Amino acid sequence: MLKKRLNIFYTIECYLPTISGSGIATKRIATGLVKRGHKVAVACPGKGFAVEKNIEDGVIVYRLSSIPVLIYREYYFSPFARRYMDNIFDEFKPDIVNLEDHFFVSTAAYFEANKRGIPVIGTNHFHPGNILQHSKIKKGTSLYRVLERRFWASFVKLFNELPVVTTPTNVAADIIRNVGLTKPTIYVISNGISVESYFSSENLGRKDFNPGKDYNNSNKSSDWDKKVIGVVSKYRIDEKSPILIPVSRLEKEKRVDVLIRALSIIKDKTSFQFLVVGKGKERPNLEKIAKKCSISNRVIFTGCVSDSELLILYGLSDVFLTASEIELQGLSIMEAMASSLPVVASSSMAIPELVKDGVNGFLFQPGNSREASEKILLLLKDKKLRRRMGENSRKLILEHNFERTLDEFEKLYYSLVSSTLYARKVSAS
């Protein structure tokens, strides 16, 4: 017998178009479940006092009245969320609620669902460092540690009320256990990635790029060739030099400054072009560092790029770089691996679960520009090593197949909905 299609309700404080890993992961899963026939809604802050309801890629999106975060005004939060939840639940009629964080919208949804006897699970993408890095409080100080504990305490208070919590990596699971999450069953479910959507080294050549060639993919027509040419021209890509690419928000915890300093150490030893993809408050500072390090002529800041441009940029690149110090998984690392790129990354948090040192890339100690430079130089000097490690990246990322991620979430949702219905029948009898 076919299972009933579910009404699945996600709540999150940071959803697209605001850029964040949690928002991107949530949207991908939400749209993936819509394609499987489920009805999916997301509640998140809007950008002002107006309340909006839209259909975005098949997902119903409720954008609630909100105000900007004082320390970072590109982000909004919705302290008024509770006043809207009753009407949203009446209209959408969720079978299950998945909290993607523990902030205002999610807390409001939890209490409304609990009142109605609707099952709720949580997914954790949160780390206090993602918030505190926007403040002027120095990491490691007494005040920083106090605030870090308070942020974790608010997370634990809500999520310990849930029967099930998911998180994308084993490291992330260990972190939340260590801060006091003891009551829920914790499942590790990767954010997943649609590997087939990315170009491997075989179907979009690196330096043997030829706009007129057949990329061994019937979907790539002359229109596609024009898109590739357009990207090469728009971002002034030098096809004769190896291309190094990080993709992230340009914020302090992403530590792009470490990469710029690493490249300044090897600038006279090899050719390269450093393509920095993303936007953020740190860009002016990073531009100053690049100028001070005398490598401005090799660095291109692209700002935000479209999804199709990003696919092409990954395909044209040679090595993916990240010095990020706060990653509970790393979506851009997964995208790079799906694009058959070797990765040079800091050995922080969950990154070593994706980057196997000496197999599909190299790891360096967080913040250590000199060690990073040595690893980057190894790959730039050895094309065969780049190719071998890139092929290993593609093989390793297959373990994170997106359809498997959807399967695991569906299984959890059905299990919780079924057990809740059973409990209702028992209590009614």
Alpha-carbon distance values, 390 to 300, 307, 387 (Å):
23, 21, 5
Task: Give 195-206 pLDDT, tens digit per residue.
Answer: 988 876 555 544
Let me know how long the chain is.
Answer: 429
The domain segmentation of the chain, as residue ranges, is 7-192+402-428, 195-399
C-alpha–C-alpha distance, residues 138 and 327, integer Å: 19
pLDDT at 329 over 50: yes
Residue that the structure tokens 């922080």 belong to: 348
Identify the architecture of domain 195-399 in CATH: 3-Layer(aba) Sandwich (3.40)
Task: Give 47-82 pLDDT, tens digit per residue.
Answer: 888 899 999 999 999 999 988 876 666 778 889 899
Equal CATH topology for 7-192+402-428 and 195-399: yes
pLDDT at 174 over 50: yes
Homologous superfamily assigned to 7-192+402-428? Glycogen Phosphorylase B; (3.40.50.2000)
Task: Give 244-281 pLDDT, tens digit per residue.
Answer: 999 999 988 899 999 999 999 999 999 999 999 999 98
Task: Lowest mean pLDDT of 54-58, 358-362, 424-428, name the range.
Answer: 424-428
Angle at 172 between CA 171 and CA 177, to 5 degrees: 95
- pLDDT band at residue 135 using 50, 70 and 90 as cut-offs: confident
Task: Record the pTM.
Answer: 0.89
Task: Lowest mean pLDDT of 48-52, 84-88, 94-98, 332-336, name the range.
Answer: 48-52
**In whole numbers, what is the pLDDT of the chain averaged over residues?**
90
C-alpha–C-alpha distance, residues 169 and 419, integer Å: 26
Angle at 375 between CA 373 and CA 377, to 5 degrees: 65
C-alpha–C-alpha distance, residues 277 and 296, integer Å: 15
Q: Quote the pLDDT of residue 205.
A: 44
Alpha-carbon distance values, 69 to 11, 13, 16, 74 (Å):
18, 11, 16, 7
Q: Quote the pLDDT of residue 211.
A: 37
C-alpha–C-alpha distance, residues 62 and 104, integer Å: 14
pLDDT at 131 over 90: no
Task: Lowest mean pLDDT of 37-51, 63-77, 178-192, name the range.
Answer: 63-77
